[in-house]
Amino acid sequence: AGTGIGEFSDGSFNNKELISDLKVYPNPMTTNGALTFELAENTVATIQIFDMSGKLVKSLPVKRYNAGMNTVEFNVSQLGQGTYFTTVESNDSRKVAKFVVM
């Protein structure tokens, strides 16, 4: 067994991305927003929000999402005005979208 760092089994890649079509709306937003994303299969995903410096400012509860389109609502009233990035991660797949808080 190796360290697991930088090692992949032959079966870990396929032609279909696990996460696709990530969108954040409304953009810009003031207090509440939502993101939508599509999953190729049922999976557990992590959703986090980072500021422009890359600091984690909000993390949504990790949960299992179903294959197909998913919508997640979130509140940004505790975040200051500015530009943020949200990430949706599962297994080796990651998508990033940018949004603005006014």
- Answer whether the bond into residue 61 is a cis peptide, omega within 30°: no
pTM for the full predicted model: 0.82
Residue 17 has pLDDT above 50, yes or no: yes
The tens digit of pLDDT for each residue in 73-89 reads 999 999 999 999 999 99
d(CA 87, CA 45): 10
| pLDDT tier for residue 4 given thresholds of 50, 70 and 90 | very low
Helix (H, G, I), strand (E, B) or coil at 92: coil
The β-bridge partners of 98 are 85
User: How confident is the model at residue 15, as a pLDDT?
Assistant: 52
Convert the pLDDT of each residue in 23-63 to its tens digit.
999 999 999 999 999 999 999 999 999 999 999 999 999 99
- What does pLDDT average to over the chain? 89
